């Protein structure tokens, strides 16, 4: 069962400026991952949506890369959504840097969505 929006992954050119702006809004860095050129930021309190900010170089894509939903039973949710016609481009992929598992799919607009544990 999907329980909430877990995180929104943003790709930005001015990494430091984005962090400063989000801090002005009241968000704080909750995890720094230099090996991924990223930080995670959230508002204070429990169960806040996390913004994962990635620094991009050159002419790489900027904007929302994906939106992830927190799942209480990711494997079951993947199977349920497959029955409903959603085709996953990756399933139950372990992310070493975060220890989380993600499954990703595209919608009809080409936007990426994820389920995560």
Model-level pTM? 0.89
Rounded average pLDDT over 53-81: 90
Banded model confidence at residue 75, pLDDT cuts 50, 70, 90 = confident
Q: How many angstroms separate the CA atoms of 43 and 4, rounded?
A: 15
| Paired tokens of 10 | 């943003």
Banded model confidence at residue 72, pLDDT cuts 50, 70, 90 = confident
Rounded average pLDDT over 14-26: 97
| Residue 99 vs residue 52, higher pLDDT | 52
Q: How many angstroms separate the CA atoms of 105 and 88, rounded?
A: 4
Rounded average pLDDT over 78-105: 92
Banded model confidence at residue 6, pLDDT cuts 50, 70, 90 = very high
| Paired tokens of 28 | 């704080």
Angle at alpha carbon of residue 54, lines to 107 and 48, rounded to 5°:
75
Q: Strand pairing partners for 42?
A: 28
Distances 103 to 1, 45, 64, 106, 116 between C-alpha atoms, Å: 14, 26, 17, 11, 7
* Cβ atoms < 10 Å from Cβ of 17: 10
| Residue 97 vs residue 109, higher pLDDT | 109
Rounded average pLDDT over 5-11: 96
């Amino acid at each position: 069962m999907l329980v909430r929006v877990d995180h929104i992954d943003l790709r930005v050119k001015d990494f430091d400026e984005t962090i400063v702006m989000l801090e002005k809004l009241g968000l704080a860095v909750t995890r720094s991952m230099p090996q991924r050129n990223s930080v995670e930021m959230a508002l204070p309190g429990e169960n806040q949506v996390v913004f994962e900010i990635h620094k991009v170089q050159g002419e790489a894509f900027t904007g929302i890369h994906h939106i992830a939903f927190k799942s209480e039973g990711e494997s079951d949710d993947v199977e349920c959504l497959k029955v409903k016609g959603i085709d996953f481009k990756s399933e139950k992929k372990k992310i070493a840097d975060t220890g989380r598992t993600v499954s990703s799919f595209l919608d009809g607009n080409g936007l990426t969505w994820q389920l995560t544990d």
